[in-house]
Structure 1
Amino acid sequence: MKSIDYLKELTKFEHRGSATKNERQAAEYILQELKKMGYKVEKQTFKTTRDNLYMLPLQVGVLLFICGFFSQMYGGPLEIAAFLLSLFAIGLLLLEISGKPVETSIMPKFLSQNVFTSFDESRSKRIIVSAHYDTQRGSLMFHPKIVDKLSVIYNISYIGFGLIPIGILLNIFNLDVIASVILYIGLIIVFANIIFMAVCEVTGRYTQGANDNGTGTALTLALANYYINHKDKFPDDVDMVFLFTGSEETGERGMKNFIKKYRKKLTLDTKFIILDNLGTGKITYLEGEGMIFYKRAGKMLLDIAEEMVKGHDGKIQKMKNLLLPTDALPAIAAGFDAIAFLGKDENGRLGNYHWHTDTIENVDTELLSYEEEFFKEYLVKVAQRLN
C-alpha cells in the first residue's frame, strides 16, 4: 500500500483525539496493518490528560494570578509563600516545555498508547522512525487570522508570567511603587491569558487531522512496508523500528512515556526521525527544537538532510525550529540524536494547522508521493552512515 491509501483509512475516523476512544481505534488499525506486513508489534499503554495545550497555561495562569493579586492587595508575612508558589507555577511551565518526562498537570488522566515494531536485540545500532497519530482541537488560537501571530501572543504571555514573581519579590524588599507597576502589568497580561485559554478550552473541537498528523503516520506506515520488503538495501546490523505515538498533542506524552520506559534499551547512538504535518508546502527539516530551551538536532541527521537538498531541486528547505515542539524534543532532551521533518511553505506556515480545514481534501497527494520516495532514500543513507 502507498501512503495515500493509509491516509484514506486514517481519515475515516472523525478525529483521533488524544486519549479518546477514536485514538485507541486508530492505534488498533495501525497495529493490525503492521502485523499484516509481517512485523512483531508491541503496544505500550499509559495514562495522560486529554489536553495540556490549553489547560496547562490556564492552570499556571490562575496560580500566578492568585499569587500576584494577593501580593498587590494584601502583602504581609505570607508574601514569601506567594513568591515561592509563583516560582513553582513558572517551574511547571518550564518543565513542560523542556521535553523532560515529568507530569505537570493535575487534570484527570485517560488511557493512551504507543504502537511500535519490536526491537531486534541482535542488532547493535538502531533507527527509530516515528509519527504521532492523534489530533488536536482547533480553537480561536489557531484561527487563520490569528495563527501567524502566535509567537507574539506566546512571548507576551511568558513576559506576563515572569513579571508576577518579580513584582512579588520587589514587594518583599519594600520597593512598593515599582513592584505595584510590575504586578499591575503582569496581572493584566495573565488575566487576559486566562480568558483566552478558557475560551479556547471551552470552544475547541477536534479536527480530522489529515495533515496533522495523518500524513506523518501514513508515510511511516508506507516506510515500514518498504523496509520489510527491501531489507537488502539496509545494513545487517542496523535495527529499524517504526514507532507511532499517542497523545503527542498533549505535550509529547507518547514519546516521553516511550523514552521513559525503554531508554535503557536504547544506546546513545540511536537515531530518531520524526515525521509530522507533511501534507502541504515543501519538505522542511528543523535544525533544532524548543522556543525557550533550544536544543540542536543530531549532526549526522542534519548533514544527510543538507546533502540531499542539492539533489531535489528546491523542494527541500530548513528552518530553525517551531513555536510548539515535535516528538523530537523529548528524544533530544534525553540525549539522543533526532530530527523532525514537516511540510511548510517559504514563510514557515504549516498547512491548515490545528484548524477545521485540516481534511484529506486539503492534502497535496503529489507531495505525499514525492515524500515517500525522499524518505526511502533518506533512511537508507542514515542507515549506511550509521553503519
Structure 2
Amino acid sequence: SDECVGGGGGGGEGDGVRGFELEQTLGSLRDRLESAKSQQSKLTGVTLRVKFGYGLAGRVAQTGASLNTWDAGGEQLDECEQFGVLGEAVQTALTTCCYSAEGNMVAVVQAVNKRQGRFTSDDEDVMGALASQAAVMLSHGQYMARLEKRSFSRSHLGEFLVKALPCETVLDLVRLLNSEPSVPILLGARHVTLFLFDEDAATLRTFGKYGELVTATLNDMATSVAGQAAVSGEVVEQAFSTEGEVDEASGDGEGGQQQHVSRRDAKTVRSCRIGQPVMGRRKEGLLLGVIECVNKKGGVFDDEDREALELLSSVVGGLLEVLSSEEQLRADLLGNSAASGKKAPRRTSTVEATVDGGEAAVAHSGHARRKQSALSSAESHSSPR
C-alpha cells in the first residue's frame, strides 16, 4: 500500500501509511501502529488516541471529507500525528475515511510524506480504493471478534448459573454475584455489585467485600450510577478522566449521546461505571435491584458488554423473583404452624426431610422453578441482535 500512494519505501524517502481505528465511545481515533515498518519507531506497539476534531485524522473523522495536505504545520497536526510511522516529521499527508458496507465509518487511513512533491488526484483515487478494502477487512475482523466475545460471555454466564441455582435465599444470591469471579470476566469489568432495591426506604442494599451490609440512599455520590439507574429504571453509564472530569453525560439506547473525555485525558480514562436495572417479569415496571459494573478493563464498555449485562440482569431478575416467592412461602408455612399450635418444622438441608415434609417440598420445587426461570430468561435474550 505504501508503494501505491507513493509513501514508505525506507531510506528516509517516505513514512508510509497508517490506520486509525474508529472508537466511538471515546470520541477518538486509535492508532495501533502495528505496521512492520514501525519497528524503527520508538512508538512501536503503543496505542495512541486522537480526539474528534483535532489533527488531520480527527477532522476527517468528524467531517467525513478527505484531506490532502501539502504543508502540514504543527497547528494542523495532533501531537500523535506530528511524526510519521518511521519517526520523521510530517510534511505532506493524505487522509481519508473507511466506510463499511452499511455506510458506517469504521476507520481513517492516512498516508504521510509523499516521496516527491505532493499527493495527486491519482493518489487520492488509489487511497479511496485502499480505504474500501481496509473497511471490509476491519468490519469482518470486528464481526468475528464480536461473535467470539459473545460465545465467551455465554460460557461464563452458564458457569454463574450453575452456581446460582442452589441458592436458597435472596441474600445468598447477592453474596454469590458480588464474589463470583466469573461475573466480572463475563462483563470485562474489574468489579460487579448487585444492589437490592428497597422502595419504602428509598435505599439500595448490598454486601461489602467482607460480608458487611452496605446501605446507600439513591442520591449517595458513592453509588450515583446505581442510584440513577434505580430512579430512572434505565441503563446509566458514565466515564471519568483521571481527575474525574466528564465532558458530557453518556446515554444508552436510541438517541443516547456517547461519552467524550477531555483531549488532555484522552489517553488516560481510568474509571467508567454502568448501572443496569434488574426488572421483575411478573409485574411490568417492577424494579428488583441494580447491577453496577465498575472499570472496564482496557477502555470503556461496548455493545457486547451491554448485551451481556442485559442478559445477566434478566437471569438474576428471574432468580430473585423465585427466591422471594420461596421465602414468602416458607414464612407462610411457619406462620400457619405457629397459629395452629404445632411445632414449626426444623429447617434442614434441601435433601433432609422435615417433620411434615413441607419444607423439603418447597426447597425441591423451588430449585426446579429457579432452573426453569433462569433458563427461560436466558433463552428470551439469547438471539443475537
TM-score (norm 1): 0.23
Larger helix share, 1 or 2: 1
Find the structure with the greater CA-based Rg: 2
Q: TM-score, normalised by structure 2?
A: 0.24
